[in-house]
Chain A
């Protein structure tokens, strides 16, 4: 009896496994892999899974495997260097250029034509995702750097939104006198957050034209324009206008400094709208664009593409990958990202028709307006070459702590930029 039962169970198990296998790997099915950040918000990951389900339902011959990993870019980089890697690559646009220059990615021009992507995105997006005249990625999201402020506090104290660097410093002084920290800031869990202040400072201190020249190699990193900008940033930090102990607190703690009213302002990206709403502070928060820190230079909004999606050159079915990319960034699909606070740079997204928080819609309009007027600057993670960017955000704290001088910092930035030029990492835009 026992033998018969065992035999029956074994046969049943084998049949079940065979059936399961046939279902999962039906003949002609293309499988695509994507690495997805395990630290992405639950809402964003749920959205991605939902998009995948919809796509798979409409395209039963394509299966998408989403792998949650802690560092999608780093792990993809290591696997690609070893000749493998996921089919769809989710990386920062600066890294995307390095991958493209090394033939690790599929040029997307033919797909762009097939799916008419050119009509969906502005030229700045296309330029940011092109290398050597060819298109290599679709934007993952859009970022803009703004200053969030406690409007109630501003009104109570009669504080005005600053319109120059001096007014900004004066505002910070007034806040400090009232025992309020001017700018909440924390980097202990993400040192790369230094990119945010660096991007903001360089856009405010140099303006669009000079920053463009700097990033194209037409202006030296040791020039007075850069020196003044770095001095201004360091001045804010050394005076504790930007929270001096930022290395000891996390980003969440910094946000809570702002939402609990201990800090009057919080300089961060447009991605903060949803977490700020979720924290439900007992005051109204608003945003302003950082004023210009230099006379005669217009204020600009630092913008970036927060990551991009490209196709691995080793992908066995790039057509299927392109088809998924096209679906993922259909205006009505991408628009759903706004519901959890992610902005997207697509022309045909109708914000008014989307069920998204009002603050998120306000920020999308805020960024769109700046893009329309052309008064935008260049965030480090989208426009700066890799070595220069990494050195800039890794070392800025050392100047503030007097571990290195501004001169040493600028000289090293220049050396890193030259290295980037030699390696072909400098973006042409």
Chain B
């Protein structure tokens, strides 16, 4: 009898705690529902119409999604997003990891290095894009400089259709890697140095220690960075919009720039909404897969 009463009391306390927890998160939850949920529902509604942004919309069912599956320009843009993601998962991540590993060992003046490296990140994307557009200019920039050195066919960074996407990705990663470096530095500061010292005593060199002892200890941070980078690669927009507008031709077109163009220039916000939902869907599916793998014991 006593036990039943005790259990009842515990369950009442737990329920109270649960209610309190829900009460605490309710404002944030409501904000999310209105700020995120409203537009998502609205976007979904618009995606089922032929709305041109001005006239009254007509319901057309899933026609926009059917059209999307046959849209070669969309597939082209999606392929560019994939190239962008691969670039970002390798170049800035590897660079940030290596530099963080080196800076961590610097005893004197570490703060100066950190501040110096972090400078590009405080430059706004518009300014950074403008600076690099000038640097890439065929008349004043790197191309002209190489020409003056006697190189007859220097790279045409923003004009060459095979180079434009990577030229822009480089500029974005020029800002992005320092952000990653700070994350990695924070993670590295938590690493148990005695294990590294043990590995060194056992004969491992610095590189071996870093790869086999240090990196496994910051795996959660690396996983988080890779997941975030993948999702951000799907939604990236600013540098391509500012530096090439998706050109030359459609060489550097991304799904987001294509969607923007459809919505604001081509009078097709209905179709653009369908594209934005596909982008959201990709992120949701990707996060779900990551969650599922984690549940199954994958250390990601």
Contact = CB atoms under 8 A, between A and B. Distances in A.
Interface of A: 74, 77-78, 80-81, 98-99, 101-102, 104, 187-188, 191, 244-249, 253, 386-387, 390-391, 394-395, 397-398, 400-401, 403, 423
Interface string B115-147: 000000000000000000100111100000000
B267 A386 contact: yes
A390 B267 CA distance: 9
B55 interface: yes
A245 B133 CA distance: 13
B68 to A, nearest CB: 16
Given A191-B247, A253-B137, 4 more contacts: A188-B244, A248-B137, A398-B249, A398-B250
Given A386-B267, A390-B266, A423 B52 contact: yes
Classify the interface of chain B: helix, strand, loop or mixed.
Answer: loop
A401 B161 contact: yes
B158 A248 contact: yes
B29 interface: no
Contact of B136 (A244, A248, A390): A248
B248 interface: yes
Given A81-B54, A99-B54, A247-B244, A74 B264 contact: yes
Interface in B260-274: 261, 264-267
Nearest to A71: B264
Nearest to B56: A102
B92 interface: no
Given A188-B133, A253-B139, A387-B266, A248 B157 contact: yes
20 contacts: A74-B264, A102-B56, A104-B54, A188-B133, A188-B158, A191-B247, A245-B156, A247-B158, A247-B159, A247-B249, A248-B138, A248-B157, A248-B158, A248-B248, A249-B138, A253-B137, A253-B139, A398-B250, A401-B161, A401-B251
Contacts of B54: 77, 80-81, 98-99, 102, 104
Given A102-B54, A245-B156, A191 B245 contact: yes
A400 B53 CA distance: 31
B169 to A, nearest CB: 16
Interface residues of B, number: 29
Interface in B133-191: 133, 136-139, 156-159, 161, 164
A83 to B, nearest CB: 12
Given A77-B54, A102-B54, A249-B137, A397 B267 contact: no
Contacts of A247: 158-159, 164, 244, 247-249
Contacts of B247: 187, 191, 247, 397
Contacts of A101: 55
Classify the interface of chain A: helix, strand, loop or mixed.
Answer: helix
A253 B134 CA distance: 11
Interface string B204-246: 0000000000000000000000000000000000000001110
A424 to B, nearest CB: 9
A99 B297 CA distance: 58
Contact of B139 (A78, A99, A249, A391): A249
Nearest to A422: B50
A285 B263 CA distance: 41
Nearest to A391: B266
A246 B250 CA distance: 14
A395 B250 CA distance: 8
B248 A401 contact: yes
B161 A248 contact: no
A384 to B, nearest CB: 13
B57 to A, nearest CB: 10
Q: Interface centre among A104, A247, A403, by most B CB within 10 Å?
A: A247
Contacts of B265: 390, 394
A391 B265 CA distance: 10
Nearest to A104: B54
A394 B161 CA distance: 15
A394 B261 contact: yes
Nearest to A396: B249
A400 B250 CA distance: 11
Interface pairs A-B: 6 shortest CB-CB: A245-B159, A247-B248, A398-B249, A248-B159, A248-B158, A401-B249
A403 B159 CA distance: 14
A244 B53 contact: no
B80 to A, nearest CB: 12
Contacts of A390: 265-267
Q: Interface centre among B137, B139, B248, B267, by most A CB within 10 Å?
A: B248
